[in-house]
Amino acid sequence: MNEDRLNAFVNQLVNDMAVSMSGVMASIGHRLGLYKAMAGAGPMTPSQLAQKTGTRERYVLEWLNSQAASGYITYDREQHTYELPDEHAMVLANPESPVFMAAAFDTISSMWLDEDKVINAFQTGRGIGWHEHHHRLFCGCEAFYKTGYKASLTTNWIPALEGVEEKLQAGALVADVGCGHGASTILLAQAYPNSKFFGFDYHNESITVARQRAVEAGVSDRVQFEVAHAKNFPGTNYDLVCFMDCLHDLGDPVGAAKHTKEVLAEDGTVLLVEPFAGNSIEDNLNPVGRMFYSASTAICTPNSLSQEVGLGLGAQAGEARLAQVMSEAGFSRFRCATQTPFNLILEARL
């Protein structure tokens, strides 16, 4: 027994426990508007923050101390005040920021709430459909992915595809498969008003939300959301078909890609946005891989195993495995167009 190694691992586990609990505190800070109230306000006392947010000072004091211990906010021990740095406010308090992440804690909450279902899946081998998860998963995923889409989808990812931006500007036909609440579909419609967009998802409740989101965004004249599966979504001659962070979740991604090939225009493009991953396990043994392997265990792989075929690609499939899927479906051209720390942006063509 190596005592130094043992003690180091105990410290690591204590830190992980603290991080897990801090995530709950961050979610509370977001939902109660505590971060938003502190953003740009300078140093504040617990009383001032409680008054500004309609909360109780004793709870606010304890929360502020947890945030100071986490390094999320700063504490002035002489003035006994707390402050949210502007840089941290970009991540925790500003929904329009390209790095806003506070709302994504709903995804982690849903994993705890669905823990018994995942344990049962381990023991029985059954899958867990997307629709079987706690509703906080749907909002958490929308919040997490929307931040990246707002920052990069129309500014970097679409321009990185061969000839796609020109088609969208002129007027193209686009399918967004596995659209969820429609974040990516709506962003595309806002950027390219001459094009027509169709969002498809098998989850009825998500489509209902997506339709409302389109009305709120003022794009319902060029966006249509329908309940449909990835292997039989309607339409034909699509210039662009998008799978935004969802192909690896499908039970039969090869079948979905084959159907896409049938409804794609002759010179059409498939955009795959997938979680960032290397092609080997050792490439993914890092903080991003840790996050995505965990989500894959509780969400992505169970969803695939709940469907026919149940290929179970997982969230860390990597470019080479995804290229194999598209090749089996009949696509002859495949490349990584660009990437971010969280995503691979892949292009497939006939």
Digit-coded pLDDT (tens) for 29-73: 999 999 999 999 999 999 999 999 999 999 999 999 999 999 999
Can you give the pTM of this predicted structure?
A: 0.94
Overall number of domains in the chain: 2
12 and 158 inside one domain: no
236 and 326 inside one domain: yes
89 and 109 inside one domain: no
Is the four-CA dihedral 301, 103, 211, 133 of positive or negative sign? positive
Assess if residue 119 is contained within a domain.
yes
Assess if residue 99 is contained within a domain.
no
72 and 168 inside one domain: no
Residue ending a domain, choose from 41, 66, 94: 94
Closest CA to 223 of 233, 231, 238, 213: 213
The pLDDT tens digits for 134-150 are 999 999 999 999 999 99
179 and 278 inside one domain: yes
pLDDT-derived band at 215, boundaries 50, 70, 90: very high
Return the pLDDT at 154.
98
81 and 109 inside one domain: no
177 and 319 inside one domain: yes
Residue ending a domain, choose from 74, 94, 114: 94
Helices 136-152 and 204-217 cross at an angle (nearest 10°) of 40
Assess if residue 75 is contained within a domain.
yes
Looking at the chain, which runs of residues are DSSP E strands? Answer: 74-76, 81-83, 173-177, 196-201, 223-227, 238-244, 264-275, 333-339, 343-349
196 and 81 inside one domain: no
- The DSSP secondary structure of 262-324, one letter per residue, reads HHEEEEEEEEEEEE---SSGGGG-SHHHHHHHHHIIIIIHHHHHTSSS-----TT--HHHHHH
CATH number where 28 lies: 1.10.10.10
Return the pLDDT at 345.
98
46 and 148 inside one domain: no
**What's the whole-number mean pLDDT along residues 182-198?**
98
As a whole-number percent, the residues of the chain with pLDDT over 90 amount to 99
Assess if residue 28 is contained within a domain.
yes
87 and 224 inside one domain: no
Return the pLDDT at 265.
98
153 and 16 inside one domain: no
> Whole domain around residue 38: which residue ranges?
3-94
Assess if residue 61 is contained within a domain.
yes
Assess if residue 50 is contained within a domain.
yes
Return the pLDDT at 240.
98
Return the pLDDT at 340.
95
Residue ending a domain, choose from 94, 128, 153: 94
Assess if residue 186 is contained within a domain.
yes
Quick one: how many helices (H) and strands (E) in the chain?
16, 9
Assess if residue 275 is contained within a domain.
yes
80 and 151 inside one domain: no
CATH number where 344 lies: 3.40.50.150
